[in-house]
Amino acid sequence: MAVKVRIPTPLRKLTNGQDEVFAEGKNVKEIIDDLERHYPGLKERICEGDGKLRRFVNIYVNDEDIRFKSNIDTALKSGDEVSIIPAIAGGMS
């Protein structure tokens, strides 16, 4: 099943400038693996070597943070939208 994946600006160079792509999978992990097959280099920017999500990357399924669900094992269904959102850090010193 294909779901729409929203790509943040810093990763769009890997998706040929596309801000939305489609990927196949029954959970977030499978979506990430499918994205890597079509857009090599993307997985290493959002996942650690062991496959866990990097600390500074947030993934939402239909506006819900997967960290409050089943993380990368969060199940997907047809029509779901996945958003990859890099964390923003900074502030005043």
* CATH code of the domain containing 48: 3.10.20.30
pTM of the model: 0.91
Instruction: Please give the pLDDT value at position 67.
Output: 95
Q: Does residue 53 belong to any structural domain of this protein?
A: yes
DSSP reduced 3-state for 58: strand
Q: Does residue 91 belong to any structural domain of this protein?
A: no
How many domains are contained in the chain?
1
* Cβ pair 19, 7 in contact under 8 A: yes
Q: Does residue 64 belong to any structural domain of this protein?
A: yes
* Cβ pair 35, 6 in contact under 8 A: no
Mean pLDDT by 10 residues, the chain (93 residues): 94 97 97 98 96 94 96 95 86 60
What residues contact residue 54 under an 8 Å CB cut-off, 6+ apart? Answer: 45, 46, 47, 48
Residue 24: give the domain boundaries: 2-86
DSSP reduced 3-state for 33: helix
* Cβ pair 61, 80 in contact under 8 A: yes
